[in-house]
Structure 1
């Protein structure tokens, strides 16, 4: 009987904890519910998008936090990065990211781009400067330049621009869960808290299925 009562108490405590967490994050406070949801790439999965810019110091600082988290997401969740593009060098760096995605480079190459800009002070303001960096990380120069200037990459860049507009972002880093909920480090309360909001919204979407 004593064990049974203990089990009931622990179960109740767990439920209270879950309810407390549910009340902890609120639409209009830690996250925004988009008025017009943005279609995801796979309706059978829960999609998490991070909008970023290689030149953003906050994105660079967020990388060591968000990357391990994304690596451990369950199978029903898709994590994607989308470059934010507000014109000028933002667009150029967005095209760089999309070109590297098209070439299926490893995660270490993306991290090398971040490090080159924030640790080494490289601006990477031209495709040629990008190619010079990438050669040192196993990316063939001419193949990169050809991919960077390809029709497919240019089309994907335009699509990413439109998607950023659909999410109604004004800065980065920003995360969006399932095309419905937008939040950032400021609204969530810091990098780790941002991932807690993401987990909460993933659970919310999973429960609604």
Structure 2
């Protein structure tokens, strides 16, 4: 009997905590996107807008990397470098050039680390080419892609999406083209997972 009472008491005590963990509030923990954008049918899209020079993006990156290791199969994760000004656009061009060379996974975190741990300003074509060369990237090929038509198109698309989602700062995580989550800690992942489940249950 005492054991049953103890179980009931423990359940009563922890229920509010569990409820708090399982339910996040619109307008407080996340917000609705003013102009929702259709995403690829059949998957739930999670899109991160970031800039390599952003300290909040740097702090969020390890949480995202951990989440990606166990990401659900029906979730498509997309990194989108925000090109909200000329300096940020340089980083975006570098990202898309490296993406076309298949080197993002090898260089993404090292670039973040170098910029923030060594206070290095690696944002323009020359500094990016020099940095990426350390990781086996051909600087001549990188420079040829930096201002190429395909990279121009990707940067233009990133700008259009940022405008459509009304991105004013980073990091900004967009879930299924409908919800925006901001922040730089573990809560961003928790809210993102909550919204993924919310979208999954609508199917």
TM, length-normalised to structure 2: 0.87
CA RMSD of aligned residues (A): 2.2
Q: Which residue number in structure 2 is paired with residue 191 of structure 1?
A: 185
Superposed CA deviations along residues 13-38 of structure 1, whole A, max 9, x for unmatched, are 9998875545x311111110123211
Q: Conserved in 1, the CA contact under 8 Å of 2:83 and 2:159?
A: yes
Superposed CA deviations along residues 54-74 of structure 1, whole A, max 9, x for unmatched, are 000111111111111022111
**Pair 1:131-2:125 in alignment:** no
Alignment map for 1:69-88 (pairs within 5 Å): 69-88=67-86
- After TM superposition, the runs of 4+ consecutive aligned structure 1 residues lying more than 2 A away are 12-22
**Pair 1:120-2:114 in alignment:** no
Report the count of equivalent residues: 195
| CA positional deviation for 1:79 | 0.9
Q: Which residue number in structure 2 is paired with residue 28 of structure 1?
A: 27
Q: Which residue number in structure 2 is paired with residue 158 of structure 1?
A: 156
Q: Using a 3 Å threshold, how does the CA distance of structure 1 residues 179 and 124 change in structure 2: closer, same or farther? A: same
**Pair 1:146-2:140 in alignment:** no
Q: Which residue number in structure 2 is paired with residue 61 of structure 1?
A: 59
Whole-Å separation in 1 of the counterparts to 2:143 and 2:185: 34
**Pair 1:172-2:170 in alignment:** yes
